[in-house]
Amino acid sequence: MRFTNFAALGLIVAGSVAASFEIEDQVVYPAQETGQVLRVISTADRGAFEPIILAFQSENQNITVDYTITSTSELMQAIHDEGAVFDLAISSAMDLQTKLANDGFAQTFGAAEMGDLPAWAHWRNQLFAFTQEPAVLVVSDAFFSGSDVPRTRDELINILRENPERFRNRVGTYDIRRSGFGYLMATQDSRNSEAFWRLMEVMGRLEARLYCCSGDMIRDVASGELALAYNVLGSYAASQSEVIDGFQIIELEDYVSVMLRTALIPTSAENEADAQKMINFLLSLDQRPELSQSSGLPAIDTTSFQENSALRPIRFGPGLLVFLDRMRRVTFLRNWESSLVQE
């Protein structure tokens, strides 16, 4: 089987990469035929992206995929600060990806598979969205029955305020100082609703626990260690719900920020041709429902926004760069810390 040597190959290759950015995992998926190597740096977990890689290779049997997993912030450091050589960069942090393109770190490419891709799902022929993933509330079955689950942010705030002992140290959310995705969601929340800062203050008084990753929050909610987790990546929650019990996924009814997972070809790329093939393949996910199901990464679907007005796709453009300005970021983090972080 092709799978037997993946772990060993990953260990061998990881040791050969000279980089100061932090690598979480690295796996080589060997081609069936002699050909080129496609080097991908990505924030998507191996379990999510592996089905896509294998399906891509079934149609491109001469392409070996060298897949490096890192965090959103570390991916930014690798490409923007260190000039690391990768052929494709895939991230859930739309603002950081936009900055890479805006600062001249992305190649222009007229993707053949753009088809009916809406205008809000691509930017400058450099940045291409291929999934839509909501930020959701995840609640523990041990703490909530169906009738008392909050459905809006105001309801969530009221429940937390009225039951401080029940929820003290039992609420989780992203540590936005460490998580690029968490920072993106927090800044979008602050633009969408005044309830965000009230919610942060309530969570702070309850000594909320801060996390780097959605997977860790989901695990702790499912076990009952947390009562709830806020702004969890919905795609990961949905995929985890198929293998573990103990939690519910709530799309809040006031609004749901929808992240678009994006791909770009860095200017440092050495294998642009195969990177373009991969982008075209990713943009065809809407025609491959079985692949979206196996990966847990939902394809772009414009009809879902027509059916649910609470869904709000985060849109590309200069507005995404506002909170990446150094002084704006410092101010935002200071306000966030004063609300949420207990000394």
Residues 329, 205 share a domain: yes
What is the mean predicted confidence (pLDDT) over 185-211?
95
Round to whole Å and give the CA distance between 295 and 273: 24
CATH for 39: 3.40.190.10
Structural domain contains residue 298? yes
What is the mean predicted confidence (pLDDT) over 137-156?
91
Structural domain contains residue 70? yes
Residues 29, 51 share a domain: yes
pLDDT band at 35 (very low <50, low <70, confident <90, very high): confident
List 173's β-bridge partners, or say none. Answer: 210
Count the residues in the chain: 343
Residues 329, 193 share a domain: yes
Residues 203, 332 share a domain: yes
User: Beta strands 88-91 and 36-42: pairing type?
Assistant: parallel
Determine the pLDDT at residue 342: 66
Residues 278, 253 share a domain: no
pLDDT band at 70 (very low <50, low <70, confident <90, very high): very high
pLDDT band at 128 (very low <50, low <70, confident <90, very high): very high
Q: Domain total for the chain?
A: 2
Structural domain contains residue 313? no
Residues 168, 69 share a domain: no
Residues 328, 280 share a domain: no
Q: Is 68 left (phi over 0), alpha (psi -120 to 50) or beta?
A: beta
Structural domain contains residue 63? yes
Residues 147, 103 share a domain: no
For residue range 226-280, what is the model confidence (pLDDT) as tens digits?
999 999 999 989 988 988 999 999 999 999 999 999 999 999 999 999 999 999 9
What is the mean predicted confidence (pLDDT) over 184-208?
95
Structural domain contains residue 315? no
Structural domain contains residue 209? yes
Task: Give the residue numbers spanning the domain of 216.
Answer: 135-258+321-340
Does residue 298 have a pLDDT over 50?
A: yes
Structural domain contains residue 314? no
Residues 171, 147 share a domain: yes
315 Cβ neighbours under 8 A, 6+ residues apart: 120
Determine the pLDDT at residue 19: 60
Ordered alpha helix ranges (H), the chain: 6-14, 46-59, 72-76, 94-102, 153-162, 164-167, 180-192, 195-205, 214-223, 234-241, 272-282, 289-295, 302-307, 326-340
Structural domain contains residue 61? yes
Round to whole Å and give the CA distance between 238 and 14: 30
Residues 216, 332 share a domain: yes
Residues 269, 252 share a domain: no
Residues 225, 332 share a domain: yes
Round to whole Å and give the CA distance between 120 and 98: 13
Question: 66: closest CA among 41, 44, 33?
Answer: 41
Would you say 226 and 170 are in contact if contact means Cβ atoms under 8 Å apart?
yes
